[in-house]
């Protein structure tokens, strides 16, 4: 359940109100990966600096975070970073090609035992400084979302080394080495709790965990491995009083299981009808989503129909934050985003 505390950093925003299931003057909207390659101003910056440097240089990361807010009337900013950045801070060697590639996959008990805890101020100071700079420069007092990868999703990258369609090594790791998997997940849960708490202390006004690979697991394995880990992270963050968001990709079969989590907002992909999600989660949680990123390639009238269908599925009860169901695609036309933001704001 939401702690229901008042945010002391910013005037109440539609986004923060919706996180707490309060009524809003307009339906808030932000867009996963809103700071990114579909924006010409991002591509221009990226042509001069590699991705990793962008994430590690506060002036640049803050600039990229703010770019979409200058162009569109978005209701939230989200830190520009990568879910693997804190693991890099913990000494995991990786490169971005552009997807993260871990040089030495972590699969043994010894490797897991050797992972240090994360000390954010020491290991990822540039992330915290980015947050401070964004808070100083953000227009319209738009709230800033901090984020991290959920423990199981991070495990997938650590065990596999590089992303793949099946993430087979990560899935076989759960079956073949369940004890090692649980130890790694616990370690990651604590590290991400420390990471997100530091982000909140630096000024992040909501915290989001990305379970990008929830869809790899059956219900039984999700409940055994991914759920206890994310619950551990959330429990550590709850006393902070900022809204907590858990995004699951391809989690349609997991909603019953997720309903028991102490989280303010559940974000879902475009395959999960919001009416079903809200019914299963119950009135105690807000929802976030879930337009298909492909809909931004439709002619304007069809895009409006698809957005209206999301609003109709979400219903009129408080507690819906409009978003895509997954990250925006790099070849999206920014004008389509502008049309979408206007449409959502005009249809409360």
- Mark residues 214-233: x for contact with a second copy by CB under 8 A, - for none: -x-xxxxx------------
Q: How far is CA 301 from CA 209, 258, 308, 315, 337, in A?
A: 33, 35, 10, 21, 14
Q: Does 282 bind a second copy (CB under 8 A)?
A: no
Distance CA 199, CA 137 (A): 17
Q: How far is the CB of 292 from a second copy (least distance, A)?
A: 5
Identify the residue whose tokens are 């619950």.
Answer: 231
Among 179, 239, 282, 299, binds a second copy (CB under 8 A): 299
| Catalytic choice (20, 27, 42, 82) | 82
Q: How far is the CB of 299 from a second copy (least distance, A)?
A: 7
Among 121, 141, 276, 338, binds a second copy (CB under 8 A): 276
Among 126, 210, 270, 322, binds a second copy (CB under 8 A): 270
Q: How far is the CB of 325 from a second copy (least distance, A)?
A: 8
Distance CA 30, CA 34 (A): 7
Pairing of strands 320-324, 286-291: parallel
Q: Which is nearer to a second copy, 136 or 220 (CB)?
A: 220
Ranges within 112-171 binding a second copy (CB under 8 A): 165-166, 168, 171
Pairing of strands 144-149, 206-211: parallel
For residue 256, what are the contacts with CB-CB under 8 A and spacing of at least 6?
219, 280
Residue 133 has a CB neighbour count (10 Å cut-off) of 19
Q: How far is the CB of 334 from a second copy (least distance, A)?
A: 16
Residues 191-223 as b/e (b if ≥16 CB within 10 A, e otherwise) read bbbbbbbbbbebbbbbbbbbbbbbbbbeeebbb
- Mark residues 167-206: x for contact with a second copy by CB under 8 A, - for none: -x--xx-xxx-x----------------------------
Q: What is the DSSP string of 124-172?
A: -HHHHHHHHHHHHH-GGG--EEEEEE-HHHHHHHHHHSS--SS-HHHHH
Verify whether residue 33 is a known catalytic residue: yes
| Catalytic choice (33, 107, 171, 278) | 33
| Catalytic choice (37, 224, 232, 339) | 37
Q: Which two tokens stand for residue 249?
A: 């990709």
Verify whether residue 82 is a known catalytic residue: yes
| Catalytic choice (46, 56, 171, 278) | 46
Q: What is the largest CA-CA distance in the chain?
A: 57
Verify whether residue 107 is a known catalytic residue: no
Verify whether residue 232 is a known catalytic residue: no
Verify whether residue 37 is a known catalytic residue: yes
Q: Which residues bind a second copy (CB under 8 A)?
A: 165-166, 168, 171-172, 174-176, 178, 215, 217-221, 250, 252-253, 270-273, 276, 292, 294-295, 297-299, 302-303, 306, 309, 325, 329, 331
């Amino acid at each position: 359940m939401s702690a229901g505390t008042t945010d002391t950093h910013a005037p109440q925003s539609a986004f923060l109100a919706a996180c707490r299931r309060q009524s809003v003057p307009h339906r808030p909207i932000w867009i996963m990966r809103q700071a990114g390659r579909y924006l010409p101003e991002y591509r221009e910056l990226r042509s001069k600096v590699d991705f990793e440097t962008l994430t590690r240089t506060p002036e640049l990361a803050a600039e990229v975070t703010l770019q979409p807010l200058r162009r569109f009337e978005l209701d939230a900013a989200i830190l520009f970073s990568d879910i693997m950045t804190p693991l890099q801070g913990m000494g995991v060697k990786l490169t971005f090609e552009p997807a993260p590639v871990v040089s030495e996959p972590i699969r043994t008990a010894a490797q897991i035992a050797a992972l240090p805890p994360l000390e954010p101020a020491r290991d990822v100071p540039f992330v915290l400084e980015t947050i401070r700079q964004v808070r100083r420069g953000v227009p319209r007092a738009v709230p800033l979302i901090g984020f991290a990868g959920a423990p199981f999703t991070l495990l997938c990258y650590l065990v596999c080394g590089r992303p793949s369609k099946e993430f087979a090594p990560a899935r076989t790791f759960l079956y073949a080495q369940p004890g090692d998997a649980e130890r790694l997940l616990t370690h990651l849960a604590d590290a991400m709790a420390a990471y997100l708490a530091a982000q909140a202390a630096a000024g992040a006004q909501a915290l989001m965990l990305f379970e990008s690979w929830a869809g790899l697991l059956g219900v039984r394995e999700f409940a055994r491995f991914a759920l206890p880990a994310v619950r551990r992270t959330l429990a550590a963050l709850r006393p902070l009083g900022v809204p907590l968001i858990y995004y699951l990709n391809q989690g349609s079969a997991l909603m019953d299981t997720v309903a028991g989590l102490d989280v303010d907002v559940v974000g879902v992909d475009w395959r999960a009808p919001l009416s079903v999600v809200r019914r299963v989660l119950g009135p105690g949680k807000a929802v976030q989503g879930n337009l298909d990123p492909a809909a931004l390639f439709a002619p304007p009238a069809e895009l409006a129909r698809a957005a209206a269908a999301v609003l109709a599925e979400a219903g009129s009860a408080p507690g819906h934050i409009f978003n895509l169901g997954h990250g925006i695609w790099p070849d999206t036309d920014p004008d389509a985003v502008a049309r979408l933001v206007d449409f959502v704001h005009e249809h409360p």
